[in-house]
Structure 1
Amino acid sequence: MGSTDKDIKVYEWAVQKVTYSVDMWLHYCVFAINTYGDLDTIKRLFGRGLVYVGSDFLSYTMWDKYIEYEYTHQEWSRLAMIYTRILENPNQQLDSYFTG
């Protein structure tokens, strides 16, 4: 088993144990961005995490990373969807999404 496989198992174990931790999901997503080449896998991971933490008042770090990721890949329709979801689940930094 390679190092990456072990890392994935640890992250999967961690998000099962602390499912509602914004920080844990954020670290897992950053790891995925830096490790995987498959865009769909990373998008699915963000989607999984946001199901659990997307409505958390302090989830802005996760949303910001997701926005940054989609912006980097110029996924404009997905960005529009993300901003809509943020408006449905306001967080501590909601005003920053209006000022750019």
Structure 2
Amino acid sequence: MFYPTSTSMVYRRGIQAITLSVDLWIHYLQFLKETLDPADPETLNTMRGTFEHAIMSAGLDFRSDKLWEMYINYEAEQGNLSGVTSIYSRLLGIPTQLYAHHFQRFKEHIQGHLPKVFLTPDKFIELRKELASVNHHSGSKMEYPSGLEDIADPAQVCIHDYVELC
């Protein structure tokens, strides 16, 4: 007979005893994902809280890649793309075994979605101005090759569309 409460207590005692065990955290998170009711509104908070606890406890380990990937995949499944971006931002500040792999996946994540998913309009404009200054442009009026003056700036169109959606 299966007793989820007893199993959960065993996992918790194990985690208290060996907080740095990436494998134990992974198994506990898999157990929670399989046993918690997805329809319960508290499930999301429980999972996120447990992921955060796991990352704070074992996320600095050189071989913690699978733990981070589980968290990223969970947030992606929930449709929280800004959360995915935030997790990648934290992960890329840690020297893990699969750092290059994570950086590649982060680039694919960023390139696969519009900036409005991750950035506020103010942050987008700030980054656009920074990019323009780096490229020695004035941010407000760009110099175009002849014949391209009447083509709309895609960044301005994106900002306009984003503001209209809000």
| TM-score with structure 2 setting the length | 0.57
1:45-84 superposed Cα distances (whole Å, 9 cap, x missing partner): 0111111111100000100111111111111111111001
1:21-61 superposed Cα distances (whole Å, 9 cap, x missing partner): 00001111111111113111001001111111111000001
Matched, 1:77 2:82: yes
Name the amino acid aligned to 1:25.
Answer: W
Count of residue correspondences:
99
Which of 37, 47, 50 is equivalent to 1:45? Answer: 50
Runs of 5+ unmatched residues, structure 1: none
Runs of 5+ unmatched residues, structure 2: 106-166
Question: C-alpha displacement at 1:90, in angstroms?
Answer: 2.2
Question: C-alpha displacement at 1:99, in angstroms?
Answer: 2.1
| TM-score with structure 1 setting the length | 0.93
Name the amino acid aligned to 2:22.
Answer: V
Question: C-alpha displacement at 1:98, in angstroms?
Answer: 2.3
2:29 matched residue in structure 1: 29
1:61 matched residue in structure 2: 66
Once residues 30 and 61 of structure 1 are traced to their aligned partners in structure 2, the CA distance between those partners, rounded to angstroms, is 12
Considering only CA atoms, is the larger Rg found in Structure 1 or Structure 2? 2
Once residues 62 and 35 of structure 1 are traced to their aligned partners in structure 2, the CA distance between those partners, rounded to angstroms, is 19
Once residues 90 and 77 of structure 1 are traced to their aligned partners in structure 2, the CA distance between those partners, rounded to angstroms, is 22
Taking only the aligned residue pairs, the percentage that are identical comes to 32
User: Quick check: 2:92–2:103 contact (8 Å CA) kept in 1?
Assistant: no
